[in-house]
Amino acid sequence: MSKKIYELIIIGAGPAGITAAVYAARKKLDFLIISKDIGGQAAWSGDIENYTGYQFISGPELTLKFNEHISAFGIDVIMPEQAKGIEKQEKLIKVVSDKSLYLANAVIVATGKRPRMLNVEGELEFKNKGVTYCAICDGPLFRNKPVAVIGGGNSALDAVLQMMKISPKVYLININAGLSADSIMKEKVKQADNVEILHNAVVERISGAAFVEAIDVKQNDARKHLNVAGVFVEIGLVPKSDFAGILARKEKQEIVVDCFNKTNVEGIFASGDVTNVPEKQIIIACGEGAKACLSACSYLSTHWI
Ligand SMILES: Cc1cc2nc3c(=O)[nH]c(=O)nc-3n(C[C@H](O)[C@H](O)[C@H](O)COP(=O)(O)OP(=O)(O)OC[C@H]3O[C@@H](n4cnc5c(N)ncnc54)[C@H](O)[C@@H]3O)c2cc1C
């Protein structure tokens, strides 16, 4: 156990946590940032066209820029390390991780979201053996192989846009009658002749031997057996807030914050996709991370002089 008491601990190094860390460094706080990785979901994005200052940048390139930015401030992210719990001890806050235990005067939770699972037969058995939740990470493994993307929103179409360039056949399995992704993405996908969209369709089973070989799909009342080597599950995300049980959360498990990023527990702030702030975007998460750090600074200066 570390006996040191930090002024601030930031949990998570996605856009929200990284931005909070840059602000903390500029305020010369004695702080720590722990995370499972750097970049978070931003690292999984294919084409980013809505982060001001870059007309186009890929997720991995933006992550590299984040890394350069924090390195310039001498910030070391402690990773891979996973927060397992947060407790309040009088005024102090205890953060328990899978490796250690830390104490701080203030904490910012910026743990974002994780992919939602499909929960069908074969999903767990073939996880990392053809079933994947990150097209940008695993897409190249399926070059020249037929794949299925499950979903109908921006993440699913992001995966289709990536895979249609390298796969001979991409099935898009959409549970609804229409796609909910941005129009610009829908247009690009509709123009591709190697993409087949199955609306009103659900995956019932993923099968194979050592690796995925096929999926069974029910579309309206018909059943189809599609031969695919990869299954990209892109059906939404769940906030990673389960370790923060002391914080008030909404039904969807989003941490409730006010406009100063304060949670219901004094000294604990939250920012980005893990919160109930509307719209989940990189630029919004960055702004929220900045705001959370400034609120934490204000709290530290008034409560911990
Ligand atoms: C495929 C895809 C494409 C996208 N494309 C775009 C786009 O083009 N433009 C756009 O604006 N937005 C896009 N988004 C959304 C955007 O990536 C998110 O809104 C943004 O990354 C949220 O930032 P965040 O820091 O709140 O959370 P995240 O990016 O989820 O980062 C959370 C961080 O916390 C860490 N973490 C999680 N749990 C723990 C724990 N218990 N202990 C320690 N660390 C933990 C994670 O490892 C990660 O580093 C996309 C998302 C996806 C999935």
Residues 83-99, mean pLDDT to the nearest whole number? 96
Confidence of residue 44 (pLDDT cuts 50, 70, 90): confident
SS (H, E, C) the chain: CCCCEEEEEEEEECHHHHHHHHHHHHCCCCEEEEEEEECHHHHHCCEECCECCECCEEHHHHHHHHHHHHHHCCCCEECCCCEEEEEEECCEEEEEECCCEEEEEEEEECCCEEECCCCCECCCCCECCCEECCHHHHHHHHCCCCEEEECCCHHHHHHHHHHCCCCCCEEEECCCCCCCCCHHHHHHHHCCCCEEEECCEEEEEEEECCCEEEEEEEECCEEEEEECCEEEECCCEEECCCCCCCCCECCCCCECCCCCCECCCCCEEECHHHECCCCCCHHHHHHHHHHHHHHHHHHHHHHCC
pLDDT recorded at residue 251: 80
- Does the pLDDT at position 2 exceed 60? no
pTM: predicted TM-score of the whole model, two decimal places: 0.86
Percent residues over pLDDT 90 in the chain: 90
If one compares 265 and 251, the residue with the highest pLDDT of the two is 265
Q: How far apart are CA 283 and CA 25, in angstroms?
A: 20
Confidence of residue 47 (pLDDT cuts 50, 70, 90): confident
221 alpha carbon to ligand 1 midpoint, in Å? 37
- Asked whether 43 lines ligand 1 (CB < 6 A), one says no
Q: Which pLDDT band, with edges at 50, 70 and 90, does 86 fall under?
A: very high
Catalytic (active site) residue 137: yes
Give residue 252's pLDDT. Answer: 85
Domains 5-114+237-303 and 117-233 fall in the same CATH topology: yes
CA 66 to chain centre: 15
Burial of 101 (0-12, 13-18, 19+ CB in 10 A): middle
How confident is the model at residue 137, as a pLDDT? 80
Q: Which atom of ligand 1 is nearest to the CA of 288?
A: 26
Q: What is the mean pLDDT of the chain?
A: 95
Topology of 5-114+237-303 in CATH? FAD/NAD(P)-binding domain (3.50.50)
Pairing assessment for the beta strands 268-270 and 230-233 based on DSSP bridges: unpaired
Atom of ligand 1 nearest to the CA of 16: 25
- CB of 33 sitting under 6 A from ligand 1: no
State the average pLDDT over residues 139-144. 94
Question: 161 CA to middle of ligand 1, Å?
Answer: 20
Indicate whether 305 pLDDT > 60.
Answer: yes
Sign of the Cα torsion 246, 251, 252, 258 reads: negative
pLDDT of residue 61: 95
Give, in degrees to the nearest 5, the angle at Cα 288 between 296 and 282: 145
Over the stretch 149-180, which tens digit does the pLDDT of each residue have?
Answer: 999 999 899 999 999 999 999 999 999 999 99
Distance 251 CA to ligand 1 centre (A): 20
For the chain, what percent of residues have pLDDT higher than 70? 99
Determine the pLDDT at residue 1: 53
> What's the pLDDT score for residue 145?
97
Q: Where are the domains of the chain?
A: 5-114+237-303, 117-233
Residue 49, pLDDT above cutoff 60: yes
CA of 42 to the centre of ligand 1 (A): 5
Q: How confident is the model at residue 78 (pLDDT cuts 50, 70, 90)?
A: very high
Q: Give the angle subtended at the CA of 34 by the CAs of 139 and 248, to the nearest 5°.
A: 95
What is the per-residue pLDDT for 3?
78
The CATH code for residues 117-233 is: 3.50.50.60
Per-residue confidence band for 191, with pLDDT thresholds at 50, 70 and 90: very high
Mean pLDDT of 196-214: 97
Query: Quick check: CB of 110 below 6 Å from ligand 1?
Result: yes
